[in-house]
Amino acid sequence: MIIAEAKPVKEIIEMVKDLKKILVVGCKGCVSVCNVGGAKEAAILASTLRIAGKKNGNTLEVGEHTLERQCDPEYVDELKEIIEEYDGIISIACGVGPQFLAERFPSSRIFPGVNTKFMGGAIEHGVWAERCAGCGQCVVHYFGGLCPIARCSKSLLNGPCGGSDNGKCEISKDVDCIWDMIVRKMMEQGRLDELLEFKPPKSWTTARDGGPRRLIREELVK
């Protein structure tokens, strides 16, 4: 899922300081799972902004509305009847959300309420870790199901670098060397020789370096 964290309230207040009526728009998608963008968080942010407005002597009216997803036009359209009532919209979805709102409602001022961090998963309650770089052509089957592109600090595809020490990355003793994990797993599975086999070069044409990407499923296109 996409992992995000809430922007500091001080930063949000500064962004909307000249506005009088604001709508906080939550998202029930990925960011709600990491307790950042759901209905509860939208209500908390809205309440915080109201309190801050009163404290600063600013009569700030704050509404709230939570969409099923902000990355789907059919859900974004829920706002079309109310969005013109507000001076600005704070999206607490991932970075896709405010962009979809800005594209759908070009006359509205849209502000991001969260910082999008990475694609990953929960490794324990309240802790998320990066697992995928979205590079377009997945090759984790070569590496015991582990991704050296997202999880190696240098995204090396041909083994550990000289900075690896006792299973840790040179950037920090708190960062595991993914290549140490890959080698150990392949050894445990009796597949270590596979790491010595020639693999065709990975295609980077589907990665982000080729510009903004699209995925088209012809059978779903109306």
pLDDT in tens, 158-213: 989 999 999 999 999 999 999 999 999 999 999 999 999 988 888 888 887 777 88
pLDDT tens digits along 137-156? 899 999 999 999 999 999 99
The pLDDT score that the predictor gives to residue 206 is: 80
| CATH 3.40.50.2300 at 2-118, yes or no | yes
pLDDT at 22: 96
Q: 21-27 and 88-91: which strand pairing?
A: parallel
Per DSSP, the chain holds a count of helices (H) and strands (E) of 7, 7
Q: Are 3 and 86 in contact (CB under 8 A)?
A: no
pLDDT at residue 122, as a whole number: 92
- Rounded Cα gap, residues 15 and 92, in angstroms: 14
Q: Which part of the chain is CATH 3.40.50.2300?
A: 2-118
134 neighbors 215 (Cβ within 8 angstroms): no
The answer on pLDDT for 219 being more than 90 is no
